[in-house]
Amino acid sequence: MRKHLMAANWKMNKTTSEAVAFINELLPLLEGVKDTEIVICPPFTLLSEMKRTLKGHDDIELGAQNFFWAEKGAYTGEISAAMLKDVGCSHVIVGHSERRHIFGEKDDDIHKKIDAALAAGLIPILCAGETLEEREAGKAFNVVEKQLENALQGLTFKNRGLVIAYEPVWAIGTGINAKAADAQEMLSFIRQWIRKKYGDQSADTIPILYGGSVKPANIDEFMAEEDIDGALIGGASLHAGDFARIVRSGNDGK
């Protein structure tokens, strides 16, 4: 039985006062939620304050949106895995499409980050997904498989020490929405890939999320699918009411 997971990716949004106000609004809306794991990934500048604000609320975990693979050194502007652990992070997003396509991260960079995250005791939320051009060319499954293969090659992880998020690039902020059946088809493919590479236990315990313009209006459709264990939420996670509604859609028991 896989526990559902809802991860909020705030991207480059919110000041300290806005983040504190969000948490204060969110907490009462989540009372009674016990069967869904919640991870909030704010910008680096908010991590310390978010940790203080969430003190005593261990049901909400803290994640980072990115980091650099080196332990320390002359890497101006970068953050290490140890720094994220020190500030209270349990998770970190790796390989998000915006990191790949805007900032030019390559598969080798992502592999090094996964390795460093696992070594530091962080749970990577590994993102993979195809562009519209790749999907229309019939290459979607090949692209996602290659991204996963290159990111995880030669690495070992505990069964719940990894999260995979399928995020079709063509369905993020484009106005084109993926259907639940599209997401299920790809997540089923990913789960079978895990089963083949890492065995039944890993396939049955690693959470696989969908991320692509997830909203309160469509979350129930996605969560009704067999292989969708939760969501990586962007814009809708910036509003406490919307995010709470999405979290509550995740019921344990698949």
pLDDT of amino acid 173: 66
**Residue 184 placed within a domain:** yes
Q: Which residue has the tokens 């939620």?
A: 33
- Asked whether residue 217 is domain-assigned, the answer is no
Residue 26: inside a domain, yes or no?
Answer: yes
Alpha-carbon distance 57 to 37, whole Å?
12
What is the Cα–Cα distance from 50 to 42, expressed in whole angstroms? 8
Q: 3-state class of 163 per DSSP?
A: strand
Q: Strands (DSSP E) along the chain, which ranges? A: 4-9, 36-41, 60-64, 91-94, 123-128, 163-166, 208-210, 230-233
Q: Is residue 253 part of a domain?
A: no
Q: Is 96 a catalytic residue?
A: yes
Q: Within 10 A of 160 (CB to CB), how many other CB atoms are there?
A: 15
User: Tens of pLDDT along the chain (254 residues)?
Assistant: 688 999 999 999 999 999 999 999 999 999 999 889 999 999 999 999 999 999 999 999 999 999 999 999 999 999 999 999 999 999 999 999 999 999 999 999 999 999 999 999 999 999 999 999 999 999 999 999 999 999 999 998 887 799 999 999 988 766 677 899 999 999 999 999 999 999 999 999 999 999 988 999 999 999 999 999 999 999 999 999 999 999 999 754 44
User: How high is the pLDDT of residue 137?
Assistant: 96
Question: In 3D, which of 84, 76, 90 has the Cα closest to residue 38?
Answer: 90
- What pTM was estimated for this model as a whole? 0.95
Question: CB atoms < 10 A from the CB of 175, how many?
Answer: 6
Number of domains in the chain: 1
**Residue 219 resides in a domain:** no
In a domain, 61, yes or no: yes
> Does 4 qualify as catalytic in the annotation?
no
All residues at 6 or more sequence positions from 251 whose CB lies less than 8 Å from its CB, including other chains: 4, 35, 36, 223
Task: Tell me whether residue 254 is in a domain.
Answer: no
Q: Which of 4, 91, 96, 111 is catalytic?
A: 96
The pLDDT of residue 203 is 95
Residue 221 covered by a domain? no
Residue-level pLDDT at 178: 86
Among residues 61, 130, 167, 225, which one is catalytic? Answer: 167
Query: What pLDDT is recorded for position 253?
Result: 43
Phi and psi (nearest 5°) for 52?
Answer: -65, -45
CA–CA separation, 124 and 110 (whole Å):
10
For residue 174, give the CATH number of its domain: 3.20.20.70
**Domain carrying residue 119:** 4-36+43-210+226-248
Q: Which residues contact 229 (CB under 8 A, 6 or more apart)?
A: 2, 3, 4, 5, 207, 208, 209, 254
